[in-house]
Structure 1
Amino acid sequence: MASEAGPISKVLIVVAMQTEAMPLVSKFKLVEAPAHESTFPKGAPWVRYHGNYKDLHIDLVLPGKDAVFGVDSVGTVSAALVTSFSIQTLKPDLIINAGTAGGFKAKGASIGDVFLASDVAFHDRRIPIPVFDMYGTGARKTFTAPNILKELNLKVGKLSTGDSLDMSPHDEEVILSNDATIKDMEGAAVAYVADMFSTPAIFVKAVTDIVDGEKPTSEEFLQNLIAVTAALDLAVTRVVEFISGKSISDL
Structure 2
Amino acid sequence: MAAPEGQEAIVAEPQRPITNILIIIAMQTEALPVVNKFHLTEDPHSPFPQGVPWVRYHGTYKDLNINLIWPGKDPTLGVDSVGTISSALVTYAAIQALQPDLIINAGTAGGFKAKGASVGDIFIVSDCAFHDRRIPIPVFDLYGVGLRKAFETPNLTKELDLKVARLSTGDSLDTTEQDESSILANDATVKDMEGAAVAYVAELLKVPAFFIKAVTDIVDGDKPTAEEFLQNLASVTAALDVAVEKVISFINGKCVSEL
What TM-score does the superposition give when structure 2 sets the normalisation length? 0.95
Q: Which residue of 1 aligns with 2:82?
A: 74
- Determine if contact 2:41/2:58 at 8 Å carries over to the other structure: yes
Distance 2:12 2:187 in 1: 33
Distance 2:148 2:13 in 1: 23
Q: How does 1:18-167 map to 2 (within 5 A)?
A: 18-34=28-44, 37-167=45-175
- Determine if contact 2:12/2:208 at 8 Å carries over to the other structure: no
- Determine if contact 2:12/2:207 at 8 Å carries over to the other structure: no
- Determine if contact 2:109/2:191 at 8 Å carries over to the other structure: yes
1:233 maps to which of 225, 237, 241? 241
Residue 247, structure 1, aligned to residue 255, structure 2: yes
Residue 5, structure 1, aligned to residue 11, structure 2: no
2:184 maps to which of 156, 176, 185? 176
Residue 220, structure 1, aligned to residue 228, structure 2: yes
Larger mean CA deviation between 122-131 and 1-10 belongs to 1-10
Give 1:18's aligned amino acid.
Answer: Q
Distance 1:165 1:154 in 2: 25
Distance 2:225 2:66 in 1: 32
Q: Offset of 1:3 from its aligned partner?
A: 2.4
Deviation readout 1:201-233 (Å, 9 max, x if unpaired): 010000000000000000000000000000101
Unaligned residue ranges in structure 1 (runs of 5+): none
State the number of aligned residues.
Answer: 249
Secondary structure in 1 matching 2:142: helix
Unaligned residue ranges in structure 2 (runs of 5+): 1-10
Distance 1:241 1:99 in 2: 18
Secondary structure in 1 matching 2:14: coil
Secondary structure in 1 matching 2:172: coil
- Determine if contact 2:12/2:206 at 8 Å carries over to the other structure: no
Distance 1:218 1:177 in 2: 24
Q: Offset of 1:86 from its aligned partner?
A: 0.1
Q: Which residue of 1 aligns with 2:193?
A: 185
Distance 1:154 1:231 in 2: 13
Q: Offset of 1:132 from its aligned partner?
A: 0.5
Give 1:89's aligned amino acid.
Answer: A
- Determine if contact 1:159/1:183 at 8 Å carries over to the other structure: yes
Give 1:168's aligned amino acid.
Answer: T
Secondary structure in 2 matching 1:189: helix
Q: Offset of 1:142 from its aligned partner?
A: 0.7
What TM-score does the superposition give when structure 1 sets the normalisation length? 0.98
Q: Offset of 1:2 from its aligned partner?
A: 7.3
Give 2:42's aligned amino acid.
Answer: E
Q: Offset of 1:54 from its aligned partner?
A: 1.1
1:201 maps to which of 205, 209, 217? 209
- Determine if contact 1:20/1:229 at 8 Å carries over to the other structure: yes
